[in-house]
Structures are given as structure tokens and as C-alpha cells.
Amino acid sequence: MAAPLRIQSDWAHALRKDEGEAWLSCHPPGKPTLYGSLTCQGIGLDGIPEIIASEGFIVNEINKKSIHISCPKENASAKFLAPYTTFSRIHGKSITCLDISSGGGLGVSSSTDGSMKIWQASNGELRRVLEGHVFDVNCCRFFPSGLVVLSGGMDAQLKIWSAEDASCVVTFKGHRAGILDTAIVDRGRNVLSSSRDGTARLWDCGHSACLGVIADCGSSINGVAVGAADNSINLGSPQQVPSEREVGTESKMLLLAREDKKLQCLGLQSRQPVFLFIGSDAFNCCTFLSGFLLLAGTQDGNIYQLDVRSPRAPVQVIRRSGAPVLSLQSFRGGFIASQGDGSCFIVQQDLDYVIELTGADCDPVYKVATWEKQIYTCCRDGLVRRYQLSDL
């Protein structure tokens, strides 16, 4: 990856007035940082500012919400996208998790103010408050139907909620410490949870029962992901006949991002190991890109891309800064990553530049959710930001 470019977080606002300025920087690994600035020289009739860059930087293109900058000396290029809209009234404090329903109509989010809320994705208007967890809710997501929510809390409880009337329909108990992440198998008859207690568990939603402890690794499991395995991957065979309540687990891989610097992959139905990879620091998050490619992010800022078929050495390691990688999500033939320094960026195979989602000023961006061409982020500053990729 080329040297990352950074820009003042409120650049779109700063450059909207005559002679307005915004700072820029380029960070080549192992070399001194290059600093520069952008200056507005007036606003065109179309409402788009005319911007010039200081020496060493070039403005390739500018729209109302995006600006494409290059630093030729370092062969670096980035397109910065400002939020289309910002929702500030959903929560009063840091927002730790969010998700958008499959139809794009609703959002769900949890906050360190102790609340979990469902809101209108178009305008951030509050629809429901989901009450029942003791202490903070760590993770929340919609089922594929978009009508039901799955949440995990510090209270070691996993809960299923109706998005329509905010009732809690199922509570799963069994973890001995806070739940850190969840995953849904296929349409959601089975779900998975991972916890600080070092276990990942598979649950049967219909009978609200635990179908088994899939992994017990003695170390906090910060993130989980489920993916359909490519036919060439040997997932092993189960030692016992799986329960008929297990639905959709065959030919699936389970990925565990562990606090003890290990990334573990196993067959979901077989419970057999596929690989164990040791990284540079605690793994915070993971996701599958395909039936054999995956990504995992560490506390010290590395994003590992691995091939399940030959996992000993990474395909590549992407490192933008030393800030913790907090979320990873596959997106349109590439991925979106967010980090603890407020950076949130999109890498796509066919683009020779990175798309940077701006707005957060050094506050961690904890989670990213997408719906079609819209991207939602949640941040420690208590804001949900919505970006419109059509603004590019």
C-alpha cells in the first residue's frame, strides 16, 4: 500500500469559505512526514469551491462532498469523502456498535450511555429503545430478515429482540463473562457468540438452547466471523453426529480473533481445527472476503490478509498506522477498515487510490455498516455518520 494521506477532519466545512484553509499530510513508512495545505480561492457557480494545494500535493478533482488528492513524490493518492449527514441525537455518549437492516430502513446501535436503540436510517429518528441488558451492550446486529436484533452484553447475556415492538423474545445464558461479538448462521436459526470467558458458543434460537461450545481457548475472543468454505478446504468431520437443531453449519468456517495474538479457524460443524495463525498483537476483528480469503486486524495496526489454503504466511499485511484496527468488513470486491485514530478507509481492487471516510477527529471509529451505496460509522464522539458513495 502506498503512503497514507491525511486531511483535516472538517475539511469540507473549512474549505467552503473564501481563503479557507485545511491541512494535509503524507506519511511514507520509515520517512519523514510531508505536510501541506489546501486553500479555497472562491466558490464556483455550481457551489463547488476552487481549491489549490501547497507544494508537493495536487488536487485532482473536487465535488461538494469529496476531494481527490495526490502526492506524486510518494506515489500516494486518496479520495476524501465527507459525511452526507451526521446523526447527533441518537445517543449521548460513545457509540460502540451499529448495524443497518437488510432493507436499509432501520439502524440499531449501542452506546456507553448503557442504551441500545433502533432508529430510522434515513434521518436518525428514534424508533425503539431496547431495554433489558444489565450494564453496557457490546454488540448488536440485525438478523437477515431485518425485523429481529441480536445483542450481546457485559452481563454475559445474549438476547434476541423484535425490532417492531422492542420486546426481548429470547435470552441465552451460559457465558461466564461479557459477550464481545456475535455472528448469524445463514438465515438465523442458529447464532454464535464469543466472550471474554474464552469460549465461542453456538445457539439454537427456536429452543433458546446452547448447541455447544465450539471453542474454548483460555483467552478472550474479541471477534468472530462465519464464512462458506471453498470446496478445496478440508474442514474435517464431526466426532459426534450433529444435533438436528444445527442448521446451516456444514461447509462453514468459523474464524476467531483472539486476545492472545492468535487467529484461529475451525470447521463450524466439525469443530476441527483448520489453522492457527500467530500475529503481532491481540486480534480485534476478522472477516471473510471469499471462500478462502480473509482479513484480521490487530491492536497494533496491522491488517493481515490470509489464504485459508496456505495460511502460514500472509498474502499481505496492510499497515496504515499503529492505531488499533477496530472493524473490518468486506465491501464491493474490497474492504472497509476503521481504526482507533479516527481513520476509516475503503480499499478496492480496481482503484489505485484509497477512499477515506472523514469527519472523526482522532476519536476511534468502532464499527462500520453498509447498505448499497451508503456507509454508516459509529464513533467515540457519540456521532453516527452516514456517507453516500454516489457523492464520489
39 and 139 together in one domain = no
212 and 267 together in one domain = yes
149 and 243 together in one domain = yes
How far the first Cα of the chain sits from its last, in Å, is 21
Give tens-digit pLDDT for 176-203: 999 999 999 999 999 999 999 999 999 9
Does 391 have pLDDT greater than 80? no
**Could you give the CA distance from residue 32 to residue 272 in angstroms, rounded to a whole number?**
47
Tell me, what CATH number does 179's domain have? 2.130.10.10
Three-class SS state of 171: strand
Give tens-digit pLDDT for 121-140: 999 999 999 999 999 999 99
167 and 248 together in one domain = yes
CB 106 within 8 Å of CB 118: yes
* 296 confidence band (pLDDT: 50, 70, 90): very high
Give tens-digit pLDDT for 215-246: 999 999 999 999 999 999 999 999 999 999 99
**Residue where one domain finishes, among candidates 56, 81, 106:** 81
334 and 349 together in one domain = yes
**Residue where one domain finishes, among candidates 47, 81, 115:** 81
77 and 92 together in one domain = no
Q: Give how far the C-alpha of residue 183 lies from the chain's centroid of Cα atoms, to the nearest Å.
A: 13
Give tens-digit pLDDT for 94-123: 999 999 999 999 999 999 999 999 999 999
91 and 53 together in one domain = no
148 and 177 together in one domain = yes
**Residue where one domain finishes, among candidates 81, 108, 125:** 81
93 and 70 together in one domain = no
pLDDT, residue 390, reads 86
Strand residue runs (E) in 173-292: 179-185, 190-195, 199-204, 209-216, 221-228, 252-258, 262-267, 273-278, 283-288
Handedness of CA 309, 235, 266, 293 (dihedral sign): positive
What range defines the domain where residue 27 resides?
A: 5-81
* 27 confidence band (pLDDT: 50, 70, 90): very high
Number of domains in the chain: 2
How many residues would you count in the chain? 392
Three-class SS state of 11: helix
pLDDT, residue 1, reads 65
Q: Percent of the chain scored above 70 by pLDDT?
A: 99
pLDDT mean over 376-390: 97
